[in-house]
Amino acid sequence: MGRSIEQVTRNYELTFIVKPDVDATNLTTVLDRVKDVITAEGGSIVKVDQWGMRRLMYPIRKYREGQYVFELVQLKANSVSRIEARLRLMEDVVRYLLVRADDNTPAAAPEAQPAPQSVAEQSATTPVEPEAVPQATPAAPDTTASQADASTAEGSPESTTP
């Protein structure tokens, strides 16, 4: 039989916004509190990435900017709701988002994979070979349009003879 949902450990991405008026030492305290919440539920933090102060798209709790923090964490599936409840109660955390990461996200070495390129970047860096470009084929003459013209000319009152 398969493992129960309590025993499954998965990768999750946690992004949260800290109040802009929190200084560097208090930010470290907030990060430690988030770490304590995750480890208390049996999870572990794989990667922490502080994005710094960013402007918010719209005001949240009357704040127009906040300090963004991204964490890649491993959690048991049944602990997600409890972690979200504890994050909701933290005064310094303005907003959070905890989502399940892709299954192909490596937990041990998240920096090992290069960032995916957009289609524009791929086309700018990938040379296009002349053989790879399909040649335009001339379109076949449209016989339906010429047949429709002939039928309307035959059916018109000017072309009929008594």
- Rounded distance, CA 10 to CA 68, Å? 23
pLDDT, residue 102, reads: 85
In a domain, 57, yes or no: yes
User: What is the domain extent for residue 19?
Assistant: 9-100
> Which letter does DSSP use for residue 98 in this model?
E
Helix 24-40 and helix 80-89, axial crossing angle in degrees, nearest 10: 150
Residue 135 lies inside a defined structural domain of this protein: no
On whether residue 61 sits in a domain, the answer given is yes
Does residue 113 lie within any of the structural domains? no
- Residue 68 lies inside a defined structural domain of this protein: yes
CA dihedral 25, 70, 44, 82 (to 10 degrees): 90
Indicate the helix (H) or strand (E) that contains 54.
strand 44-60
User: Rounded distance, CA 83 to CA 14, Å?
Assistant: 10
Q: What is the pLDDT of residues 3-26, one digit of tens each?
A: 555 578 999 999 999 999 999 999
Give the burial string for 84-119 (b: 16+ CB within 10 Å, else e). eebbeeeebbbbbebeebeeeeeeeeeeeeeeeeee
What pLDDT does 51 receive? 96
The answer to whether position 89 is within a domain reads yes
Domain count, the chain: 1
Residue 140: inside a domain: no
16, with CB counted inside 10 A (0-12, 13-18, 19+), is: buried
Lowest mean pLDDT among 48-57, 98-107, 112-121, 146-155: 112-121
Q: What is the CATH number of the domain that holds 21?
A: 3.30.70.60
Sequence-separated (6 or more) residues with CB below 8 Å from residue 113: 106
Mind listing the pLDDT tens digit for each residue in 139-151?
Answer: 555 555 555 555 5
Say which residues have a Cβ less than 8 Å from residue 72's Cβ, sequence separation at least 6: 11, 12, 13, 14, 45, 46, 47, 101, 105, 107, 110
